[in-house]
Amino acid sequence: MITALLVGLAGTTGALLRYGTDAGIEAYHARRRQTPQRDVPFPAGTLIANAVGSLIIGLCWGTLREAQLDIGQYNILAVGLAGGLTTFSTLSVAAVTLWRDGRVGAAVVHVAGNLVLGLGAAWLGLRLVGAL
């Protein structure tokens, strides 16, 4: 029961970090714009959140495999924190929206970037803890 509560709290923390990442990037871009934003901006916040979450999960999975992390700790950090931080659904909707708006190149870069950075970050996390 305690682990489930901690997973929920960690998930809330991850979701707030994702929101803060998106809000921070949008605030930065809003300061640089002279006209109101009409198009969906490139979803850099989603890309950053998914890459960081993949790194966290890679670190946790590798540490779990090396028996330096128990399953409860793994669930709190990987399922809770990284799970709340990462988002496949937002990636999908942003890609479809970019495509629909005629920004095909941005949609392809978004999907490919998430895939390449996510896999690379997970690999790096595993590598850093000696699991590869």
Residue 36 has pLDDT above 60, yes or no: no
Whether the CA torsion 32, 118, 14, 129 is positive or negative: it is negative
Percent of residues, the chain, with pLDDT higher than 70: 95
Q: Is 86 annotated as a binding residue?
A: yes
Domains in the chain, number: 1
Q: Is 46 annotated as a binding residue?
A: no
User: How long a stretch of residues is the chain?
Assistant: 132
Residue 37 has pLDDT above 70, yes or no: no
Tens digits of residue pLDDT in 100-124: 999 999 999 999 999 999 999 999 9
Percent of residues, the chain, with pLDDT higher than 90: 80
C-beta separation of 41 from 113 below 8 A: no
Domain that holds residue 88: 2-128
pTM of the entire predicted model: 0.89
